[in-house]
Amino acid sequence: MRIAVLISLFLVLLLLPTAHASSQLPVLRVGVLTYGTLNWELDIAKQDEPEDLGYQLELVKLGSPQALTIALQGGAVDMIIGDWLWAARQQINQRQFYFYPYSTAAGTLVTSPALSNKAINALAGKTLGVAGGKANKNYILYRAYALRQFNFDIDTSTSVKFAAPPMLNQLMQRGDIDAVLTFWHYAAILTKDNYPTMLTMKDVLDSFGIQTEMPVLGWLFKREWGDQHADLVNAFLQRSYTIRHMLNSEDKAWKNIDSFTKKYPEAVQPALIQAYRQGIPSQWGPETWKNMQKLLTVIKQYDDEKALTDKLDNIPTSIFWQNNVLTVHE
């Protein structure tokens, strides 16, 4: 009995230094959507040992993009994934945030097989499903493309149905809508089922004279907090990039991601992996910032309700977090 007690005491004492060391590490609270693709990366990050990284990762699951921004502003989380336009708009009211690119994956326009190899003006009189709403970069930019290239307004010349992406995929598969402008991973599922891609965001950006990759979403965090925790921020961004580099080059790494393998059928997984890899950014610097300014001009022109741009005339370069994590080709 006494020997068993001594062994238990020894084991407890053995673990105490590790527990104490972990408690002394800074805690990084990351807000994440319960259903978001960010979980794919974070499933791997959760397996890291805090002592190896120099920080403890705490994930805060939330139910909507609005909940993420509220949590960030209220101090319930330190970092989230969000839109650079949101960060820029906050400057109008003297709220300071940083942005650092996470993904270039954007909305894709997918159609029924009957519209294969057609231009966007072939949607005249058709029913178009749109993920999100009118106050959405995808919708505004695709509308701008159609107007500039074909003098065709999808807002007035098609029957637009705004709905959640899963519902839109179901409507496409039932033949209730003719085309869908949806988020990249839902588009990947449709294209795997032989629904053709009519237009991509790369096509749209090319038409505006923007050839460099364009971040769609990125890490957002408060300026004051970021300035005070620069080493922590850069350590996390480096680990994030390392994980995505691994997912870009190692197929076997995907087998360890429960939020991916358990949610999606095996048949569609290769299409999702390919789409994910295409959205990993590789550059960040003055050339990208200049093209973001150019894109803002387009968005502002076609943002009829000014829901995205408000009084924003330019993107303050002060929102751009800078480090050497991404390889700069600019």
In the chain, domain spans: 25-104+214-319, 108-207
CATH classification number, 108-207, choose in 3.40.50.1950, 2.120.10.90, 3.40.190.10, 3.40.30.10: 3.40.190.10
pLDDT of residue 16: 44
CA distances from 156 to 29, 48, 160, 185 (A): 44, 51, 8, 27
Mean pLDDT of 281-287: 93
CATH number corresponding to 25-104+214-319: 3.40.190.10
Model confidence at 33, in pLDDT bands (50, 70, 90)?
A: very high
- State the pLDDT confidence band at 22, using cuts at 50, 70 and 90: low
pLDDT at 184 over 60: yes
Note the pLDDT tens digit of each residue in 209-255: 998 899 999 999 999 999 999 999 999 999 999 999 999 999 999 99
Evaluate if residue 200 carries a pLDDT over 80: yes
Tell whether the model's pLDDT for residue 85 goes beyond 80: yes
Query: Largest Cα–Cα distance of the chain, in whole Å?
Result: 87
pLDDT, residue 18, reads 44
Tell how strand 97-103 and strand 217-222 pair up.
antiparallel
pLDDT at 106 over 70: yes
* pLDDT at residue 171 is higher than 50: yes
Q: Is the dihedral of CA 91, 92, 95, 100 positive or negative?
A: negative
Provide the strand spans (E) within the chain: 27-33, 56-62, 80-83, 97-103, 108-111, 127-131, 159-163, 179-182, 197-199, 217-222
Question: What are the residues facing 60 on neighbouring strands?
Answer: 31
**pLDDT attached to residue 327:** 58
Q: Work out the percent of the chain whose per-residue pLDDT is above 90.
A: 85
* Predicted pLDDT of residue 134: 86
Residue 162 is predicted with a pLDDT of 96
Residue 151 has pLDDT above 80, yes or no: yes
User: For the purposes of burial, counting CB atoms within 10 Å of the CB of 214, is it exposed (0-12), middle (13-18) or buried (19 or more)?
Assistant: buried
- Please give the pLDDT value at position 10: 44
Task: Report whether pLDDT(269) > 90.
Answer: yes
Structure tokens at 116: 């294969």
Q: Do domains 25-104+214-319 and 108-207 have the same CATH topology?
A: yes
Q: pLDDT category, 325, cuts 50, 70, 90? A: confident
Which residue, 105, 112, 141, 148, is CA-closest to 129? 112
Report whether pLDDT(7) > 60. Answer: no
How are beta strands 127-131 and 179-182 bridged, if at all?
parallel
